[in-house]
Amino acid sequence: MNHFQLKGLKATRTGFGEGVLEGGRKNNNVVVIGADITASVGLDGFAKAFPERFFSMGIAEQNAMGVAAGFALEGKIPVFATYAVFSALRAADQLRISVCYNNLHVVIGGAHAGISVGPDGATHQALEDLAYVRALPNITVFSPCDATQACKATLSALFEIKGPVYIRFGREAVPDFTPSTLEFIPGKTQVFNEGTDLSIIATGHLVWPAIEASKILSSQGISARVINLHTIKPIDEETIIRAAKETGCILTAEEHQLHGGMGSAVAEVVVKNYPVPMEMIGIDDSFGESGQPDELMKKFGLTAENIALNAAHLLKRKNN
């Protein structure tokens, strides 16, 4: 079993902001478009360091997306970030037509994604963004597992990707555990734990609980492979197919609706190439609600204990 050193708790939005700031220092063409919640989405560092390259559009997300497209057409590298319910869903038309249709290099930050936004409640909990964004042509979709990886993903989005990029991240401090030396390769998953009995494919905030679940399962004599699917699109078909062939069943875990999310993307690969028993953990066709993040994660079953429980049930299907 691979062991990761927990460095502490750190929000993925912080890693995103650090990546944008570093990118701004590396290239003067990086510009940032804000939407009245600069600090909340990690962009205050850039705004302070480069005020001449920061533009606040106020609460006008559709307009901000159009402005970002305009900057890209003029050779800049624009970053637009706000809550994912606004950047992915409120500005859906502008993202689709102005950015993706024109295949423009715009980096879109989907902040405060998932149920763990907590007290902000259902209106601000983006649980459908992956389903929409991954359906758009030309776009790359990242969902980093911790703050360290969020920073790397952001730098990759800025300087390695040619077209639109959507980066999904959260608000709450979560385990920061990936080493700074771990390479981030777009479209290539990371196997965090080798296993032979089943594969757990997780993304975003659910990767650490998946690792913890593998420890619970190990104590029960179950060998679980843990895969970090940090790139939802393009998806790493090779690793998923290999996991299906070598472990015989797959459990997915995500902080998103079950319909159309990461689990659906994995299922599309599996059913086409090597069908095996699958189960999915996520939000089961409901809106979120207000509450403390840890309480909501427990209520909706997004915990290590529930991942381990579902894994055990999945193994019964595999073995019957």
pLDDT value of position 5: 83
Residue 236 CB partners (closer than 8 Å, separation 6+): 187, 188, 189, 229
Q: Is the per-residue pLDDT at 93 higher than 50?
A: yes
Q: Is residue 184 part of a domain?
A: no
Q: Is residue 182 part of a domain?
A: no
C-beta of residue 243 within 8 angstroms of C-beta of residue 250: yes
Q: Is residue 261 part of a domain?
A: yes
Q: Is residue 52 part of a domain?
A: yes
Alpha carbon distance 11, 92 (integer Å): 25
Residues 263 and 143 both lie in one domain: no
Q: What is the mean pLDDT of residues 64-89?
A: 97
- Give how many domains the chain has, as a whole number: 2
Residues 215 and 269 both lie in one domain: yes
**How does pLDDT run across 204-221, given as a tens digit for each residue?**
999 999 999 999 999 999
Residues 98 and 75 both lie in one domain: yes
**How does pLDDT run across 43-55, given as a tens digit for each residue?**
999 999 999 999 9
Residues 13 and 86 both lie in one domain: yes
Residues 116 and 214 both lie in one domain: no
Single out the residue in 176, 201, 229 at which a domain terminates: 176
Nearest to 133 by CA among 163, 90, 166: 166
Which tokens in the block code for residue 13? 């939005």
Residues 101 and 196 both lie in one domain: no
Q: Is residue 185 part of a domain?
A: no
Secondary structure of residue 101 in the 3-state scheme: helix
Segment among 1-5, 15-19, 255-259, 271-275 with least mean pLDDT? 1-5
Alpha carbon distance 103, 83 (integer Å): 22
Residues 81 and 224 both lie in one domain: no
Which tokens in the block code for residue 131? 């389903």
Q: What is the mean pLDDT of residues 75-88?
A: 97
pLDDT value of position 1: 45
Q: Which residues form the domain of 71?
A: 8-176
Reduce the secondary structure of 20-40 to three states and give it as a string: HHHHHHHCCCEEEEECCCCHH
**How does pLDDT run across 94-103, given as a tens digit for each residue?**
999 999 999 9
Residues 127 and 207 both lie in one domain: no
CATH number, domain with residue 75: 3.40.50.970
What is the CA angle 111-148-172, rounded to 5?
Answer: 40
Single out the residue in 153, 176, 199 at which a domain terminates: 176
Single out the residue in 117, 141, 176 at which a domain terminates: 176
Alpha carbon distance 189, 206 (integer Å): 15
Bridge partner list, 31: 78
Alpha carbon distance 36, 29 (integer Å): 22
Residues 306 and 162 both lie in one domain: no
Is the overall model pTM greater than 0.75, yes or no?
Answer: yes
Average confidence score pLDDT of the chain = 96
207-219 helix and 304-319 helix, angle to the nearest 10 degrees = 60
**How does pLDDT run across 114-134, given as a tens digit for each residue?**
998 888 899 999 999 999 999
pLDDT value of position 272: 98
Q: How far is CA 99 from CA 72, 107, 146, in A?
A: 9, 10, 27
pLDDT value of position 2: 58
Helices of type H across the chain: 12-26, 44-49, 61-73, 84, 92-94, 129-133, 147-159, 207-219, 237-247, 262-273, 293-299, 304-319
What sign for the dihedral angle of Cα 34, 37, 42, 43?
Answer: positive
Q: What is the mean pLDDT of residues 141-166?
A: 98
CATH number, domain with residue 255: 3.40.50.920
Identify the residue whose tokens are 């980093």: 144
Q: Is residue 3 part of a domain?
A: no
Residues 203 and 107 both lie in one domain: no
Q: Is residue 126 part of a domain?
A: yes
Residues 195 and 125 both lie in one domain: no
Residues 194 and 70 both lie in one domain: no
Q: Is the per-residue pLDDT at 247 higher than 60?
A: yes
Q: How far is CA 165 from CA 25, 63, 93, 209, in A?
A: 20, 18, 16, 26
Q: Is residue 183 part of a domain?
A: no
Confidence of residue 3 (pLDDT cuts 50, 70, 90): low
What sign for the dihedral angle of Cα 308, 309, 315, 317?
Answer: negative
pLDDT value of position 36: 83
